[in-house]
Amino acid sequence: MLSVCTASGAQAADAFAADSPWMTGDWGGLRSEWLNKGIDIKMGYTGESASNLRGGYQKHDRVTRYADQFNLGADIDLQKLLGWQDAAFSLSVTNRNGSNINDKISDPRATGLGSTQEIQGRGSVSRLSELWVSKGWFDDTLNIKAGRFAVSDDFAVEDCLFQGLAFCGSQPGNYVDSIYNGPISQWAARVRYRLSSEVYAQIGAFNINPSDLDNDNGFKLNGAGTTGTLVPVELVWAPTVNRLPGEYRIGYYHSTANGTDVYKDSNNQPAALTGEAYRSDSSRHGFWLVGKQQLTSVNGDASRGLVLTASATFQDRATTPVDSYQKVSLVYKGPFDARPTDTLGLGIARVHASSLFLRNAKTANAASGLSYDDAGYVPEQHSEYATELNYGIQATKWLNIMPNLQYIKHPDGVREVDNALVLGLQVQSQF
C-alpha cells in the first residue's frame, strides 16, 4: 500500500520535504547510508474513517468510526549487509486501534461478512507481525523462508488500493478462521521453486494456533494451543503482455485443524432442531484464483495506466459461513498529467454466505416461529455486494490521502437491512 523507499532522490532530505520518501527525512543522510548497506527502516501509519450517510441497520444513526495502524520494523538485504547470497531478513511490529462502523450498518445478530475499514480488526493491540529469514540457492531458483509471518504475505496476494476489506489484500484469510492475515503472524515455512523467469510454484506449512489471536498474546512465541497445520500450495505466472506486467495465481489450501460445522450435529442432524452441539469436522479446504493485468500505459510509461484485477475464492461450505467470494476492480495510475502518481479506483465484490449456513438459520426460524423483528430471530444471510469508488491523492512521496465512497447492498447478506452508503477517508504515511 505504501511506496517502497529507495536511496535515490532521498539524499539528506529534510523532514517534511515533499520529495522525500519519509516524513522525518533522511536523518542527515543516515537512512540512505543504511539503505546502501541493505537496511530499510520501516515506520508507517494508516488511518481509516468511515461515516454512514444513509441506510444500514441503524439507518437514522449518522455516526463516524475511526481505526488506525502503526508499524515499525526493518527489511534487511543480507547479501548487501553480510554477503549472504540471495538472503533476506524481516522484522515488524504492528499496533492497531479503533473501531468499525459496521456495527451500525449491519444487523448485530448476523455473522460479519465484510468491513468498510480494512485496517480494523484482530483487536486493539501490539503484535509481532514478521520475524523471518529467507535464503535462495541456484540463483534463487529455490528459495526457502522460515520464521513468523502471515499466509497473506506469500499466498493469494493482492494489492490493497481500497479501504473496503472486500478489495484489499489476500481474501481467504478474511473468511476462514484457520487462515490468518497480517498483522497476525504464525510459525511457518515456505518453499518456492522457480520454473522459469515468469513462473514459480510454492508450498507452505503454517502453524494454526487460535490463541495467537488473543490480545494478550501479541508476542507469544511458544506453540501452546496449536490445533493443526495449514498447507497452501500455489502456482504463480507473471507474464509481460504488450510490454505491460501481469500476475496470475491459482492456489489451494488444506487445514488439518477441526472446524465447527455450520449446520449438522454429531449425528448428522440439523443442530438447530436437535439442540445438540454442532459437530466438529476434521479438516477444511478451499482454493483461490487471482489475476492482475495492466491494460494500458501513458505514452509508453508503464508507471501510469489502467490495471484490472479479478479474484475469486471458494471455501468449505460445511464449516465456513462464507463459501465463496468474487471481485473485480479497476485502478488507473496517474489519471492526469498534472497528477502522475495519483490513483482512481473502482471495485465491485460479492460475498456469498454458505448455503448450509443459510439453511441452518432458516431451520432455526422455522422451528421457533419467530420473525425478523423478534429478538431471538436468527438473521438469514445470503450475499453481500460491496462497491467502492476512490481517489488516491499522492500529496507527497510520504503521504497519501484517499477519500472514498462505498455502497453496501444487503449488509452481511441480510436482505431486511437497508442498503448503506458510506463515506470513507484513508490516510497513509511513511515516517
- In the chain, the domains with their CATH numbers are 1-36 (no CATH), 49-430 (2.40.160.180)
Scan for cell 492526469, then name that residue: 336
Question: Residue 302 and residue 334: Cα distance in Å, rounded?
Answer: 10
Residue 182 CA neighbour count, 13 Å, CB half = 25
Pairing relationship of beta strands 322-333 and 343-353 according to DSSP bridges: antiparallel
Q: Are 411 and 165 in contact (CB under 8 A)?
A: no
How many other CB atoms are found less than 10 A from the CB of residue 300? 8
pLDDT of 165: 94
Q: Are 169 and 160 in contact (CB under 8 A)?
A: yes
Question: Residue 147 and residue 131: Cα distance in Å, rounded?
Answer: 6
pLDDT of 121: 80
Q: What are phi and psi of 42, to 5 degrees?
A: -115, 120
Q: Which cell goes with 5?
A: 523507499
| 13 CB-contact burial (10 Å; exposed 0-12 / middle 13-18 / buried 19+) | buried
Question: Residue 38 and residue 79: Cα distance in Å, rounded?
Answer: 8
Question: Residue 2 and residue 31: Cα distance in Å, rounded?
Answer: 17
- 345 Cβ contact partners less than 8 Å away, ≥ 6 residues apart: 161, 162, 167, 329, 330, 331, 332, 388, 389, 390, 391, 392, 404
Q: Report the amino acid identity of residue 323.
A: D
How many other CB atoms are found less than 10 A from the CB of residue 243? 9
Which of 81, 99, 101, 100 lies closest to 90 in space, CA to CA? 81
What is the DSSP-derived secondary structure letter of residue 277?
A: P
Which of 232, 229, 273 lies closest to 252 in space, CA to CA? 232
Print pLDDT tens along the chain (431 aa). Answer: 434 444 444 357 899 999 999 999 999 999 999 999 999 999 999 999 999 999 999 877 789 999 999 999 999 999 999 999 999 999 999 999 999 999 899 999 999 999 999 998 877 889 999 999 999 999 999 999 999 999 999 999 999 999 999 999 899 989 988 888 889 999 999 999 999 999 999 999 999 999 998 888 999 999 999 999 999 999 999 999 999 999 999 999 999 999 999 999 999 999 999 999 999 988 899 999 999 999 999 999 999 999 999 999 999 999 999 999 999 999 999 999 999 999 999 999 999 999 999 999 999 999 999 999 999 999 999 999 999 999 999 999 999 999 999 999 999 999 999 999 999 999 999 99
pLDDT of 216: 87
pLDDT of 5: 42
Question: Residue 224 and residue 211: Cα distance in Å, rounded?
Answer: 8
**pTM confidence score:** 0.92
- Longest CA–CA span in the chain (Å) reads 72
If phi over 0 gives left and psi between -120 and 50 gives alpha, with beta otherwise, what is residue 398?
alpha
pLDDT of 13: 87
